[in-house]
């Protein structure tokens, strides 16, 4: 799945990307507690990915790029469940910090 930038919308107020066939949307939207990364079927409220990135602006781009990298191998015809399987923790309001190492493929730090 690949995406192109399009005009923002009420669900993706800061950045909105549309898949090649127009089936999926992904993007960023500011809220009271920071910026949310959201994804769903185009023209509908985001329902596949919806999590808060907080106010740490330096993580917005790496996380968005990591999510999009995981989506590269997913067919546009995929069902929401298939995408959910890639991000089982990415429902409404999870703390992405718990999953950053996995998402960004960061090496584990030695505990020594």
**97: its two tokens:** 């910090």
Q: Three-state DSSP class for 63?
A: helix
Is 24's pLDDT higher than 50?
A: yes
Which conformational region is residue 104 in: left (phi greater than 0), alpha (psi within -120 to 50 degrees), or beta?
Answer: alpha
Which conformational region is residue 12 in: left (phi greater than 0), alpha (psi within -120 to 50 degrees), or beta?
Answer: beta
Q: Say what the pLDDT of residue 109 is.
A: 46
Bigger pLDDT: 112 vs 8 = 8
| pTM score, whole prediction | 0.81
The model's pLDDT over 36-90, given as tens digits with 9 standing for 90+, comes to 999 999 999 998 888 888 888 888 898 899 899 989 999 999 999 898 888 776 5
């Amino acid at each position: 799945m690949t995406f192109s930038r399009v005009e923002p919308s009420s669900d993706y107020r800061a950045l909105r990307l549309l898949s090649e066939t127009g089936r999926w949307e992904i993007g960023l939207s500011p809220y009271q507690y920071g910026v949310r990364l959201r994804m769903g079927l185009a023209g509908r409220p985001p329902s596949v990915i919806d999590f808060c990135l907080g106010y740490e602006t330096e993580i917005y781009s790496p996380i968005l790029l990591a999510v999009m990298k995981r989506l590269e191998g997913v067919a546009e015809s995929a069902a929401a469940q298939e995408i959910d399987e890639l991000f089982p923790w990415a429902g409404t309001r999870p703390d992405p910090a718990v999953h950053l190492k996995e998402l960004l493929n960061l090496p584990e730090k030695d505990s020594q």
